[in-house]
Amino acid sequence: MHTLISVTGPTASGKTALAVQLAQAFNTAVISADSRQCYRELSIGTAKPTQEEMQGIPHYFINSHSIQEEVSAGLFEKLALQYAGEIFAKHNVAILCGGTGLYVKALLEGIDEMPPIPPGIRRQLNEQYEQQGLAWLQQQVQQHDPGFYAIAETQNPMRLLRALEVLTATGRSITTFRTSPNAQRNFRIIKTGITLPKELLHQRIHARVDHMIAAGLVAEVKSVLPYRKHNALQTVGYQEIFDYIDGRTSLETAVELIKTHTRQYAKRQLTWFRKDPGIHWFDARDHKAILEYVQAQL
Protein backbone atom coordinates (compact mmCIF):
# COMPACT_ATOMS: atom_id res chain seq x y z
CA MET A 1 0.00 0.00 0.00
CA HIS A 2 1.24 3.52 -0.74
CA THR A 3 2.24 5.75 2.17
CA LEU A 4 2.18 9.52 2.64
CA ILE A 5 4.61 10.87 5.25
CA SER A 6 3.45 14.22 6.62
CA VAL A 7 6.01 16.71 8.01
CA THR A 8 4.43 19.62 9.91
CA GLY A 9 5.45 22.15 12.53
CA PRO A 10 5.92 25.88 13.09
CA THR A 11 7.56 28.26 10.65
CA ALA A 12 11.40 28.25 10.65
CA SER A 13 11.61 24.87 12.41
CA GLY A 14 13.37 23.19 9.49
CA LYS A 15 10.58 21.31 7.71
CA THR A 16 12.06 21.67 4.20
CA ALA A 17 15.46 20.22 5.19
CA LEU A 18 13.77 17.24 6.85
CA ALA A 19 11.36 16.66 3.95
CA VAL A 20 14.27 16.68 1.47
CA GLN A 21 16.21 14.19 3.60
CA LEU A 22 13.16 11.88 3.80
CA ALA A 23 12.56 12.22 0.05
CA GLN A 24 16.20 11.26 -0.59
CA ALA A 25 15.92 8.26 1.76
CA PHE A 26 12.79 6.98 -0.02
CA ASN A 27 13.71 8.17 -3.53
CA THR A 28 10.52 10.20 -3.90
CA ALA A 29 9.03 13.71 -4.24
CA VAL A 30 7.57 16.36 -1.92
CA ILE A 31 4.13 18.00 -1.97
CA SER A 32 4.31 21.45 -0.38
CA ALA A 33 1.42 22.43 1.92
CA ASP A 34 2.13 26.15 2.07
CA SER A 35 -0.61 28.59 1.04
CA ARG A 36 1.85 31.21 -0.24
CA GLN A 37 4.84 29.37 -1.75
CA CYS A 38 2.62 28.23 -4.64
CA TYR A 39 2.73 31.80 -6.02
CA ARG A 40 5.59 32.45 -8.44
CA GLU A 41 5.80 36.14 -7.54
CA LEU A 42 6.25 35.53 -3.79
CA SER A 43 9.63 34.07 -2.86
CA ILE A 44 11.45 36.15 -0.27
CA GLY A 45 8.54 36.88 2.09
CA THR A 46 7.38 33.26 1.96
CA ALA A 47 10.85 31.78 2.67
CA LYS A 48 10.40 29.64 -0.44
CA PRO A 49 13.08 26.92 -0.58
CA THR A 50 15.91 27.61 -3.01
CA GLN A 51 17.12 25.17 -5.66
CA GLU A 52 20.08 24.37 -3.37
CA GLU A 53 17.74 23.61 -0.44
CA MET A 54 15.55 21.34 -2.60
CA GLN A 55 18.67 19.40 -3.68
CA GLY A 56 17.12 18.18 -6.91
CA ILE A 57 14.07 16.67 -5.17
CA PRO A 58 10.87 17.39 -7.16
CA HIS A 59 8.53 19.70 -5.21
CA TYR A 60 4.87 19.98 -6.16
CA PHE A 61 2.81 23.14 -5.40
CA ILE A 62 5.82 25.48 -5.37
CA ASN A 63 5.70 28.16 -8.12
CA SER A 64 2.61 26.40 -9.48
CA HIS A 65 0.35 29.48 -9.66
CA SER A 66 0.38 33.22 -10.37
CA ILE A 67 -0.62 35.86 -7.83
CA GLN A 68 -3.36 36.76 -10.33
CA GLU A 69 -5.10 33.51 -9.26
CA GLU A 70 -6.79 32.67 -5.95
CA VAL A 71 -5.87 29.33 -4.42
CA SER A 72 -8.01 27.85 -1.62
CA ALA A 73 -7.79 24.82 0.66
CA GLY A 74 -10.49 23.17 -1.45
CA LEU A 75 -8.45 23.62 -4.62
CA PHE A 76 -5.33 22.43 -2.82
CA GLU A 77 -7.12 19.22 -1.78
CA LYS A 78 -7.97 18.42 -5.41
CA LEU A 79 -4.49 19.29 -6.69
CA ALA A 80 -2.65 17.49 -3.88
CA LEU A 81 -4.60 14.27 -4.46
CA GLN A 82 -3.66 14.54 -8.12
CA TYR A 83 0.02 15.15 -7.21
CA ALA A 84 -0.03 12.18 -4.81
CA GLY A 85 -1.42 9.99 -7.60
CA GLU A 86 1.41 11.06 -9.91
CA ILE A 87 4.04 10.30 -7.25
CA PHE A 88 2.49 6.94 -6.31
CA ALA A 89 2.53 5.90 -9.97
CA LYS A 90 6.33 5.73 -9.62
CA HIS A 91 7.07 5.45 -5.89
CA ASN A 92 5.60 3.75 -2.82
CA VAL A 93 6.11 6.79 -0.60
CA ALA A 94 5.30 10.51 -0.94
CA ILE A 95 6.21 13.36 1.42
CA LEU A 96 3.83 16.17 2.45
CA CYS A 97 5.64 19.18 3.93
CA GLY A 98 4.16 22.43 5.18
CA GLY A 99 2.83 24.62 7.95
CA THR A 100 -0.54 25.76 6.55
CA GLY A 101 -2.73 23.73 8.90
CA LEU A 102 -5.88 23.85 6.80
CA TYR A 103 -4.03 22.66 3.68
CA VAL A 104 -2.49 19.74 5.57
CA LYS A 105 -5.93 18.84 6.91
CA ALA A 106 -7.43 19.14 3.42
CA LEU A 107 -5.15 16.45 2.00
CA LEU A 108 -5.07 14.13 5.01
CA GLU A 109 -8.75 14.31 5.98
CA GLY A 110 -10.70 16.29 3.39
CA ILE A 111 -12.53 19.54 4.14
CA ASP A 112 -16.16 20.54 3.98
CA GLU A 113 -17.74 22.82 1.45
CA MET A 114 -18.19 26.26 2.98
CA PRO A 115 -21.76 27.59 3.20
CA PRO A 116 -22.87 30.27 0.69
CA ILE A 117 -22.80 33.80 2.14
CA PRO A 118 -25.59 36.26 1.25
CA PRO A 119 -24.02 39.27 -0.57
CA GLY A 120 -25.63 41.70 1.90
CA ILE A 121 -23.78 40.19 4.86
CA ARG A 122 -20.47 40.25 3.00
CA ARG A 123 -20.98 43.88 1.95
CA GLN A 124 -21.95 45.04 5.44
CA LEU A 125 -18.98 43.37 7.15
CA ASN A 126 -16.57 44.67 4.51
CA GLU A 127 -17.87 48.21 5.02
CA GLN A 128 -17.49 47.92 8.80
CA TYR A 129 -13.94 46.66 8.37
CA GLU A 130 -13.08 49.52 5.96
CA GLN A 131 -14.36 52.03 8.53
CA GLN A 132 -13.05 50.50 11.76
CA GLY A 133 -9.91 48.62 10.74
CA LEU A 134 -8.07 45.43 11.65
CA ALA A 135 -8.13 45.89 15.44
CA TRP A 136 -11.96 46.00 15.36
CA LEU A 137 -12.05 42.91 13.15
CA GLN A 138 -9.70 41.00 15.47
CA GLN A 139 -11.78 41.99 18.49
CA GLN A 140 -15.05 40.86 16.82
CA VAL A 141 -13.68 37.43 15.91
CA GLN A 142 -11.98 36.98 19.29
CA GLN A 143 -15.25 37.83 21.07
CA HIS A 144 -17.71 35.90 18.90
CA ASP A 145 -15.61 32.96 17.66
CA PRO A 146 -12.76 32.47 20.17
CA GLY A 147 -12.18 28.88 19.01
CA PHE A 148 -11.31 30.03 15.52
CA TYR A 149 -9.38 33.09 16.73
CA ALA A 150 -7.03 30.85 18.73
CA ILE A 151 -5.77 29.23 15.51
CA ALA A 152 -6.34 32.06 13.02
CA GLU A 153 -3.86 34.13 11.01
CA THR A 154 -4.84 37.16 13.06
CA GLN A 155 -3.02 39.61 10.76
CA ASN A 156 -5.05 38.38 7.77
CA PRO A 157 -8.29 40.40 7.46
CA MET A 158 -9.63 38.18 4.64
CA ARG A 159 -9.49 35.09 6.89
CA LEU A 160 -11.09 36.97 9.79
CA LEU A 161 -13.83 38.44 7.58
CA ARG A 162 -14.55 34.95 6.24
CA ALA A 163 -15.03 33.64 9.78
CA LEU A 164 -17.37 36.51 10.65
CA GLU A 165 -19.35 36.02 7.42
CA VAL A 166 -19.93 32.34 8.18
CA LEU A 167 -20.86 33.06 11.79
CA THR A 168 -23.31 35.82 10.79
CA ALA A 169 -24.88 33.78 7.98
CA THR A 170 -25.20 30.44 9.81
CA GLY A 171 -24.86 31.12 13.54
CA ARG A 172 -22.04 28.54 13.56
CA SER A 173 -18.28 28.84 13.87
CA ILE A 174 -16.34 28.33 10.65
CA THR A 175 -14.48 25.55 12.50
CA THR A 176 -17.67 23.45 12.65
CA PHE A 177 -17.61 23.24 8.85
CA ARG A 178 -14.19 21.62 9.03
CA THR A 179 -15.03 18.65 11.20
CA SER A 180 -16.89 16.33 8.86
CA PRO A 181 -16.12 12.61 8.97
CA ASN A 182 -12.68 12.15 7.45
CA ALA A 183 -12.55 11.47 3.74
CA GLN A 184 -11.32 7.99 2.94
CA ARG A 185 -7.86 8.04 1.37
CA ASN A 186 -6.44 5.11 -0.56
CA PHE A 187 -3.00 5.55 1.02
CA ARG A 188 -1.57 5.13 4.50
CA ILE A 189 -0.60 8.27 6.43
CA ILE A 190 2.31 8.68 8.84
CA LYS A 191 2.17 12.02 10.68
CA THR A 192 5.31 13.64 12.06
CA GLY A 193 5.68 17.05 13.68
CA ILE A 194 8.88 18.93 14.43
CA THR A 195 9.66 21.84 16.69
CA LEU A 196 12.55 23.43 18.56
CA PRO A 197 13.08 24.90 22.04
CA LYS A 198 11.32 28.29 22.08
CA GLU A 199 14.51 30.38 22.39
CA LEU A 200 16.11 28.64 19.42
CA LEU A 201 12.95 28.84 17.28
CA HIS A 202 12.73 32.58 17.99
CA GLN A 203 16.41 33.05 17.09
CA ARG A 204 15.81 31.28 13.78
CA ILE A 205 12.70 33.37 13.07
CA HIS A 206 14.63 36.61 13.72
CA ALA A 207 17.57 35.49 11.57
CA ARG A 208 15.20 34.52 8.76
CA VAL A 209 13.46 37.91 8.82
CA ASP A 210 16.83 39.74 8.74
CA HIS A 211 17.80 37.55 5.77
CA MET A 212 14.52 38.41 3.99
CA ILE A 213 15.22 42.13 4.32
CA ALA A 214 18.80 41.69 3.08
CA ALA A 215 17.54 39.57 0.16
CA GLY A 216 15.23 42.35 -1.05
CA LEU A 217 11.84 41.86 0.63
CA VAL A 218 10.89 45.55 0.18
CA ALA A 219 11.45 45.34 -3.59
CA GLU A 220 9.42 42.11 -3.75
CA VAL A 221 6.51 43.74 -1.91
CA LYS A 222 6.65 46.78 -4.23
CA SER A 223 6.49 44.44 -7.24
CA VAL A 224 3.14 43.00 -6.07
CA LEU A 225 1.55 46.30 -4.97
CA PRO A 226 -1.21 46.03 -7.63
CA TYR A 227 -2.35 42.78 -5.93
CA ARG A 228 -2.21 43.97 -2.33
CA LYS A 229 -5.84 42.94 -1.70
CA HIS A 230 -4.99 39.32 -2.60
CA ASN A 231 -5.47 36.88 0.28
CA ALA A 232 -1.86 35.67 0.12
CA LEU A 233 -0.64 39.24 0.71
CA GLN A 234 -2.85 39.86 3.76
CA THR A 235 -0.20 38.01 5.74
CA VAL A 236 2.89 38.43 7.90
CA GLY A 237 5.86 39.85 6.02
CA TYR A 238 3.76 41.63 3.42
CA GLN A 239 1.25 43.65 5.49
CA GLU A 240 4.03 45.24 7.57
CA ILE A 241 6.04 46.27 4.48
CA PHE A 242 2.88 47.70 2.85
CA ASP A 243 2.55 49.89 5.98
CA TYR A 244 6.18 51.00 5.56
CA ILE A 245 5.65 51.77 1.84
CA ASP A 246 2.49 53.73 2.76
CA GLY A 247 4.57 55.80 5.22
CA ARG A 248 2.72 54.50 8.27
CA THR A 249 5.82 52.99 9.94
CA SER A 250 9.58 53.09 9.60
CA LEU A 251 11.40 50.13 8.05
CA GLU A 252 12.94 49.35 11.44
CA THR A 253 9.48 49.17 13.05
CA ALA A 254 8.14 47.06 10.17
CA VAL A 255 10.98 44.55 10.63
CA GLU A 256 10.36 44.30 14.38
CA LEU A 257 6.64 43.78 13.72
CA ILE A 258 7.37 41.01 11.20
CA LYS A 259 9.46 39.25 13.85
CA THR A 260 6.75 39.64 16.51
CA HIS A 261 3.91 38.54 14.21
CA THR A 262 5.94 35.57 12.95
CA ARG A 263 6.59 34.40 16.52
CA GLN A 264 2.85 34.69 17.22
CA TYR A 265 2.05 32.78 14.03
CA ALA A 266 4.48 29.98 14.99
CA LYS A 267 2.71 29.68 18.35
CA ARG A 268 -0.69 29.39 16.65
CA GLN A 269 0.67 26.77 14.23
CA LEU A 270 1.79 24.68 17.21
CA THR A 271 -1.64 25.11 18.84
CA TRP A 272 -3.32 23.87 15.64
CA PHE A 273 -1.07 20.86 15.03
CA ARG A 274 -0.94 19.80 18.69
CA LYS A 275 -4.71 19.29 18.61
CA ASP A 276 -4.06 16.25 16.39
CA PRO A 277 -3.19 13.29 18.64
CA GLY A 278 -2.02 11.33 15.58
CA ILE A 279 1.09 13.50 15.10
CA HIS A 280 4.31 12.04 16.49
CA TRP A 281 6.53 14.93 17.69
CA PHE A 282 10.32 15.25 17.42
CA ASP A 283 13.06 17.76 18.04
CA ALA A 284 13.68 19.21 14.57
CA ARG A 285 17.44 18.62 14.90
CA ASP A 286 17.09 14.86 15.39
CA HIS A 287 16.71 13.67 11.78
CA LYS A 288 18.05 10.23 12.68
CA ALA A 289 15.24 9.55 15.20
CA ILE A 290 12.61 10.77 12.72
CA LEU A 291 13.94 8.56 9.92
CA GLU A 292 14.08 5.54 12.24
CA TYR A 293 10.50 6.17 13.41
CA VAL A 294 9.19 6.43 9.84
CA GLN A 295 11.06 3.32 8.69
CA ALA A 296 9.64 1.37 11.65
CA GLN A 297 6.10 2.39 10.61
CA LEU A 298 6.48 1.20 7.03
pLDDT one-digit tens code per residue, 229-281: 898 998 999 999 999 999 999 999 999 999 999 999 999 999 999 999 999 99
Which residues fall within 8 angstroms of residue 66, CB to CB, at 6 or more apart? 39, 40, 41
Average of per-residue pLDDT values in the chain: 94
Q: With b meaning 16 or more CB within 10 Å and e meaning fewer, what string describes 92-110?
A: ebbbbbbbbbbbbbbbbbb
Q: 86 and 191 in one domain? A: yes
pTM of the model: 0.86
Q: 293 and 219 in one domain? A: yes
Q: Which tens digit of pLDDT belongs to each residue from 157-176?
A: 888 999 999 999 999 998 88
In this predicted structure, the answer to whether residue 152 has a pLDDT above a threshold of 90 is no
Domain that holds residue 25: 3-111+180-297
In this predicted structure, the answer to whether residue 100 has a pLDDT above a threshold of 90 is yes
Nearest Cα to Cα of residue 77 among 172, 182, 193: 182
Give the total number of structural domains in the chain: 2
In this predicted structure, the answer to whether residue 132 has a pLDDT above a threshold of 70 is yes
* pLDDT band of 179, cuts 50, 70, 90: low
Nearest Cα to Cα of residue 29 among 52, 65, 61, 67: 61
CATH number at residue 154: 1.10.20.140
d(CA 172, CA 191): 29
Q: 202 and 165 in one domain? A: no
Q: 194 and 53 in one domain? A: yes
Q: 107 and 27 in one domain? A: yes
CATH number at residue 187: 3.40.50.300
